[in-house]
Structure 1
């Protein structure tokens, strides 16, 4: 009978975090079997921002060149006041930011990032990828982990890493904190062909139009062939999932009285996909015996710092390092991974909420925001983000 450490690591979930974990483990010489409940590997969503911090992990995973081939490198991060149209602040990116942090800032399509990870995993003989493999139960014997699938099949592994997202079933058995926290914010997303962008409004920047209890973000995608739009507003509507259809009438009502540039972009979209923004309170415990949580299963965060996928990929590289150092004792490795990660991810969770309030400020708070950010220098902007992008 094979020792537990000779069995594969079981990974639950074939999203960005799950694939990054499988790849990171393979590069450390550790085999894994990845279980995806859907019939195929695919990524729902559109644009995603990639901070300098995640590019260090792309290098560790050997996929930086492939990521950069699909990405766009914006010139600036810009905030504009959606009511007046004034530019509140900008942070130069490009070569200046690369010189400061040692890595670039980019934007890409989630599907492109996911596919790059998938292709890298397919090239690894130590990774077994399975679809239509829905986990219904798991058990940790103290020597190994056994997963039961919906069809009754059982799979045994040395340990298990749950990358099953915001609504993680595994988390409930480890943390036991119930349903996610509903933020009261809804995001609508859409992608335009660049030819359909209103005349004069295409720009190679990440632009945020900050309005009262709303904001609109836009930037180019996929080698500047597409234009990504994300509109966020406060709402009590709740619908689980990431791919429901949005209500255009509600969207237009929430963004009324804002600048013509905002409405011209919103008016180009006839069908929006929506999702309700949720997160959870930060916790310090993501592990139990031979089982660990990763990414949104461990530390779901609002999207206001654009770091959800970046944090999951950071997790994957860290966890693989710890497991390689303690192959025969996954519990020890998982505790070391948790110890290294939980404060950093908790800070992102907390600050994402703060940024959401800042973006959606109204009345005097909005005026104070504009005054405070309006006087910020490039050096101050960089210094204010060192904790995140330099990590």
Structure 2
């Protein structure tokens, strides 16, 4: 008699396409609800490219709920203030007292290396039993009677009751299901993370997040990894992009863009990485993120310009909201995915639309020149440091249902 064949292991309840911060945080959140989750990552190994990332209280609140905040704090930095200065004359325009901000919202404002935050979620997924598969390139999405499936470049097929497309700005799912194009701002970002000893003589503020805003450019600085590393971001409008050239944002443009800035900024520019740069792109907001049992998430749904430091935060919020509604709309037979996805879309679309459009407006305000720059500076210097009216809508509690959305406030650019 032949020995009994072992039973075929059950397939996943959820497929998550994309192993970045959004995909992994969502996989972890759904696994906490008892679901079998499989992540498909196209790279040969999991990892993140970039340098520093800012995590506001609307995200550290979620990290705390997940039991991950202490680990994040051990790897990151809790700055004392966020300070906006004029990039030409270095005068202070306004600031946030981040220690008081933590008292106001109950959770800290933190900066952390992007790879460290990614690693926290990767380790959490492994500990939670999430199935993590690499070298899986998804090339298409299809609907099924009971869910959805994805087609892989190697001819394989994966399917589940729910497919979450967390595949980034250039999402295959977004291209197939929505069909819109990315939007160029004609601005480009350079980054660098260096040992802090290399910049201590440059007039830096080690305990602050400092933002210098200038005509058609800005410069961000803050410490990372317990203060041992220093992060810098240089952003500027590219003349080559404005002229319609394909090769734009090159290092010669970087140097030219910051020639007239203050000493602190000019001293930081030679340290920027010059072998890579990031063209600043977003997409116009869309109302529909859910197509059958395929849900867009993170940058696939709402890629913002970086001026509000909310891109990764919004992706983490998406996963948290999706998991909370999974818990709300589940019975002994499992989740009612139609109800879950309807609630997810109802909660997130309008909030993320506002972040996207506000980020564009903040970028325009930061980069003013001439009389408009002077008037902006005058208005910002009049702001009360402890006025949180412009941050409550984004840093306050994450909405779970539409009627729990925080009150609407008119934002003032700062972060």
Shorter chain as denominator, the TM-score bin is over 0.9
1:205 aligns with 2:208: yes
Distance 1:234 1:198 in 2: 28
For residues 70 and 250 of structure 1, what CA distance do their matches in structure 2 show? 34
Which stretch shifts more, 21-30 or 249-258? Answer: 249-258
Let me know the Cα RMSD of the aligned residues.
1.9
Partners of 2:173 and 2:120 in 1: how far apart?
27
Q: 1:186 aligned to 185, 188, 206, which one? A: 188
The equivalent of 1:367 in structure 2 is 374
Whether the 8 Å CA contact 1:215–1:232 is kept in 2: the answer is yes
Once the two structures are TM-superposed, the CA of residue 6 in structure 1 deviates from its matched residue by: 7.3
Q: How many residue pairs align between the two structures? A: 379
Contact conserved, 1:185 with 1:236, CA < 8 A, in 2?
no
TM-score, normalisation: structure 2: 0.88
- Aligned-partner Cα distance in 1 for 2:105–2:275: 35
Give the distance between the partners of 2:18 and 2:80, measured in 1 at CA: 34
The CA distance in 2 between the partners of 1:236 and 1:21, in whole Å, is: 39
Distance in 1 (CA, whole Å) between partners of 2:179 and 2:251 is: 37
1:158 aligns with 2:189: no
Distance 1:332 1:279, change over 3 A: same
Structure 1: unaligned runs, 5 residues or longer: 239-243
String of CA shifts for 1:320-379, please: whole Å, max 9, x gaps.
Answer: 122232444323211210101111111100110111011111111111110111011122
Q: Which residue of 2 aligns with 1:289?
A: 292
**Cα separation, 2, equivalents of 1:8 and 1:124:** 15
Within a 5 Å distance, the mapping from 1:165-314 to structure 2 comes to 165-177=168-180, 179-199=181-201, 200-235=203-238, 237=240, 247-269=250-272, 271=274, 273-314=276-317
Which one of the candidate residues 29, 36, 39 is aligned to 2:34? 29
The residue that corresponds to 1:241 in the other structure is none
CA distance in 2 between counterparts of 1:143 and 1:368 reads 58
Instruction: Please report how far the alpha carbon of residue 301 of structure 1 lies from its aligned counterpart in structure 2 after TM superposition.
Output: 0.3
Deviations 1:130-171 (A, max 9, x none): 000111222211313222222222222111000001111101
Contact kept, 8 Å, 2:183 with 2:283, in 1: the verdict is yes
The TM-score normalised by the length of structure 1 is 0.93
Displacement of 1:272 in angstroms is 5.3
Q: Which residue of 2 aligns with 1:384?
A: 390
CA separation of 1:271/1:331 partners in 2, compared to 1, >3 Å: closer, same or farther?
same
SS in 2 for 1:148: strand
Q: Structure 2: state its 5+ residue gaps.
A: 1-6, 242-246, 398-415
Residue in structure 1 matched with residue 408 of structure 2 by the alignment: none
3-state SS of 2:163 partner? strand
Contact 1:245 1:271 in 2 (8 A): no
Q: What is the alpha-carbon distance in structure 1 between the residues aligned to residue 211 and residue 43 of structure 2?
A: 34
Q: Deviations over 1:153-211 (max 9, x none)?
A: 2222111000001111101232222x211111111111111110141424211111111
Separation in structure 2 between the aligned mates of residue 202 and residue 172 of structure 1, nearest angstrom:
43
Residue aligning to 1:322: 325
Is 1:65 aligned to 2:70, yes or no?
A: yes
**Does the aligned pair in 2 maintain the 1:322–1:333 contact within 8 Å?**
yes
- Aligned residue for 1:171, secondary structure, equals helix
